[in-house]
């Protein structure tokens, strides 16, 4: 769920030595039309004519930020604050620009200056809340959103931000109530419908989530994130072609705005030291319960190839025999050992047939448990999905042992063969773009359509994060699965974007 932040330069009359009323009206017209290239040109004319007027520098900063040129925007806003240290709006916009540029400490300092310059300025507290939330300080964010709302209690944007933060702080009922109040005040606020859809989806209420996303798209047809999350909902219900259609709609919208104002947060990967601790804890738990297991997939790949866990992985992978009783194992891990099931509200007993993830709360690390099913001298592994599960087929293997971190760890008896079956003969060469769900060499033919849909969704995710090389890698993998003209078009678009960035560097 996205927190909303404002970064607006209002067309208020500046000092007498500043631009004319016609200039100000033009600023307002260009800003409202999102004509940032024209606004930059107009802003540069204004600062050339009135170099000591802070309003002119704010106009230029707004245009540069809208064009994605964050360093230049920060310089323009800084100039505005130097010319008028009491300009609370300039301080706040500078803070928002620092945050967008990843300079979180500078962002906090700028928001503090904005609030100090005008203690009853709600935007300063709202922006501080957004920054604190990005830092992971959810409670601090909630306090600042409430402070902002104390000055403007019916502000839809700030109510939306508070609702998001409450839900992320496990105050779900308070968050839902906040959404209800928000939608009473602003029933046509698309972002609120979208965020409510996210909440419903996270709690397994897919039909309600679908209706809510569709309402967001009725209100705002060019809402790329709503298209993409709606695709996840219909994909979960087995409507794969419909899911691809919504992903493509989202991709088209992402391609129209390479400088999207709301950039998704960088993808988070697990940290190796805490992950080792979590894996050791699971090993101890399974051995204590007498449950056999072995290292699998990316966890096995990292240890065999690199001697350690993969630094770019998001979780770890463990294999177990098919005849392990799922309910008993889950109960043991969550009651007698330091684990909990990861997002159980999104999982049914049918989902747990092929596996389930557990979380080690102390280290905030997830571990996927996969059950391997014997079938005619082979072993099937995967996860449940509609209309058919996603499956990979391995040749049957016994379990051997591998020394790692001073201990013996159970692994497939021939780990190199296991890894070649899923990752291909080049498995010893690191490939940061390889995704097993899309490119697993031993994927069942019946799973390839589902793999294509997952790959399209992950392509869109990388594009929303502006991770162009990763997105390009997904295009290559998808085109290896299917000759798709639209994916080829996206790849060509990414070729141009990547080349432009190389030239700029």
Contact assessment for residue 490 and residue 459, using Cβ atoms and an 8 Å cutoff: yes
Structure-token pair, residue 382: 């995967």
Position 391 scores a pLDDT of: 97
Position 361 scores a pLDDT of: 93
- Pairwise CA distance, residues 69 & 107, whole Å: 16
- Pairwise CA distance, residues 389 & 373, whole Å: 13
Q: What is the fold of 272-430? A: Beta Polymerase; domain 2 (3.30.460)
Position 7 scores a pLDDT of: 52
The answer to whether the 1-118 and 272-430 domains have the same CATH topology is no
- Go through 392-424 and write b for each residue having 16 or more CB atoms within 10 A of its CB, e for each that does not: bbbeebeeeebebeeeebbbbeebeebbbbbbe
Position 16 scores a pLDDT of: 41
Position 349 scores a pLDDT of: 73
Sorted by where each begins, the domain ranges of the chain are 1-118, 272-430, 451-504
Chunked mean pLDDT (size 10), the chain, 505 residues: 53 62 94 93 95 95 92 96 96 95 93 97 97 94 97 95 92 90 94 92 90 97 96 95 97 78 56 94 98 98 96 92 96 96 71 91 94 97 91 98 96 98 97 94 96 97 92 97 97 94 80
Position 350 scores a pLDDT of: 74
Nearest to 369 by CA among 379, 354, 384, 351: 354
For domain 1-118, say whether CATH 1.25.40.10 is its number. Answer: yes
Handedness of CA 223, 224, 227, 228 (dihedral sign): negative
Position 395 scores a pLDDT of: 98
- Pairwise CA distance, residues 485 & 478, whole Å: 11
């Amino acid at each position: 769920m996205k927190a909303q932040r404002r970064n607006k330069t209002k067309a208020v009359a500046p000092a007498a030595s500043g631009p004319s009323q016609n200039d100000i009206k033009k600023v307002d017209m260009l800003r409202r039309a999102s004509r940032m290239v024209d606004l930059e040109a107009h802003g540069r004319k204004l600062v050339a004519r009135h170099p000591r007027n802070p309003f002119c520098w704010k106009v230029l900063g707004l245009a540069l930020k809208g064009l994605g040129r964050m360093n230049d925007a920060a310089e323009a806003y800084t100039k505005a604050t130097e010319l008028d240290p009491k300009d609370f709006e300039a301080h706040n916009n500078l803070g928002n620009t620092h945050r967008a540029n990843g300079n979180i400490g500078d962002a906090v300092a700028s928001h503090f200056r904005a609030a100090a310059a005008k203690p009853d300025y709600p935007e300063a507290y709202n922006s501080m809340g957004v920054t604190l939330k990005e830092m992971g300080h959810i409670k601090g964010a909630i306090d600042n959103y409430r402070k902002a709302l104390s000055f403007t209690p019916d502000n839809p944007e700030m109510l939306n931000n508070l609702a998001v933060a409450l839900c992320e702080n496990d105050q779900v009922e308070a968050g839902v109530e906040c959404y209800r109040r928000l939608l009473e005040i602003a029933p046509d606020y698309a972002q609120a419908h979208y965020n409510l859809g996210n909440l419903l989806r996270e709690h397994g209420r897919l039909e309600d989530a679908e209706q809510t996303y569709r309402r967001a798209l009725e209100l705002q047809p060019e809402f790329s994130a709503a298209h993409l999350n709606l695709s996840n909902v219909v994909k979960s219900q087995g409507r794969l072609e419909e899911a691809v259609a919504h992903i493509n709609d989202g991709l088209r919208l992402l391609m129209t705005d390479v400088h999207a104002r709301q950039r998704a947060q960088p993808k988070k990967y697990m940290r190796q030291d805490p992950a080792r601790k979590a894996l050791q804890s699971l090993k101890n738990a399974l051995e204590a319960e007498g449950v056999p297991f072995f290292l699998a997939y990316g966890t096995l790949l990292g240890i065999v190839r690199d001697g350690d866990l993969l630094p770019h992985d998001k979780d770890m992978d463990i294999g177990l025999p098919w005849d392990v009783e799922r309910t008993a194992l889950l109960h043991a891990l969550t009651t007698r050992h330091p684990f909990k099931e990861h997002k159980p509200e999104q999982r049914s007993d049918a989902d747990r047939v092929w596996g389930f993830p557990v979380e080690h709360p102390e280290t905030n690390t997830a571990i996927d448990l996969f059950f391997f099913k014997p079938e005619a001298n082979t072993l099937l592994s995967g996860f449940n999905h509609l209309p058919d599960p996603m499956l990979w087929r391995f040749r049957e293997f016994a379990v051997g042992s591998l020394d790692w971190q001073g201990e013996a760890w159970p692994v497939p008896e021939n780990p190199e063969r296991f890894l070649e079956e899923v990752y291909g003969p080049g498995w010893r060469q690191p490939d940061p773009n390889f995704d097993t769900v899309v490119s697993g060499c031993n994927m069942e033919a019946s799973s390839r359509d589902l793999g294509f849909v997952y790959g399209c969704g992950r392509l869109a995710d990388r594009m929303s994060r502006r991770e162009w090389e990763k997105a390009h890698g997904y295009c290559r993998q998808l085109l290896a699965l299917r000759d798709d003209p639209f994916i080829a078009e996206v790849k060509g678009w990414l070729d141009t974007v990547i080349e432009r960035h190389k030239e700029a560097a």
